[in-house]
Amino acid sequence: MILAVDTSLGTAVAVIDDDGALRAEAATSDPLGHAEVIGDLLARVLDEAGAGEITHVVSGMGPGPFTGLRIGIAAARTFALGRGIPVIPVPSHLAAALTHAGEGRFAIVTDARRREVAITVFDGTDADGVPAVVADTVLVPASVADAHLAGVRRIDVATLSGADLARVGARALAAGRTLTGDEPLYMRHPDVVVPGAPKKVGP
C-alpha cells in the first residue's frame, strides 16, 4: 500500500493499493491549521485502510505556502523514517492534473495568496500515465492569469485529491521515474527572517 500526504492547499491524506485502488482517504479544505489536523487524518486513514503494509509514502511538494507545505512534508518523512520505507516526492499540481486530465492542453491554477496564483500547464498524460507538464509552475498576479494563459483551458483548484497524488507517485515508481527533487516548491520565502547580528555600539 502507498500512503500520500499533501498540505499545499488544505490537508489531504490517502492510502491506495499498488494498483491504484483507494483504501482510505481523508481531507480538510482549510488552508490553515495543518498541524492541528494532520495527525488525526493520518490515524483515521491508516485505521480505515485495514490490513496491509505501507511500502512507500508519497509527499506533495507544492507549490504551496512555506509553513503549510513544510508540515505535510515533515509528516510524510517522519512516517517513512519510522517505518524504514522510501518517500516519493511528487509536485502537488500533478495530482490535480490527474484528477482533471482530458484532451488537449489545460492549466492547473491554485491560489497563491497576496492576489497571485500558481500556474502549471499540462497536455494530457504521458506513456506512464503521469500528467505531462508542458510549462513549469510559475507565480503570476491573479489579474493577468488569463492573459498569461493565452487561451489555454484554465482549471482553478481549491482542494487536492490525496488518492490521485498517491496514484501519480505509484505510476512514477512503476516506471522507475523521479518526478522532482527533495526541495519543496514554495510560493515564496517566509516573511519572517532570522535577525542579523546586533550592531556594535561605540564606547
For position 99, what pLDDT does the model report?
94
For position 198, what pLDDT does the model report?
55
Instruction: Give the cell for residue 119.
Output: 500556474
For position 189, what pLDDT does the model report?
59
For position 203, what pLDDT does the model report?
55
**Averages of pLDDT over each 10 residues, the chain, 203 residues:** 96 95 94 90 96 96 92 97 98 96 89 93 96 95 96 95 97 97 82 52 55
Question: ω before 198 within 30° of 0 (cis)?
Answer: no
pTM above 0.85, yes or no: yes
Q: How far is CA 193 from CA 114, 183, 196, 199, in A?
A: 19, 19, 9, 17
Q: Are 28 and 43 in contact (CB under 8 A)?
A: no
For position 192, what pLDDT does the model report?
44
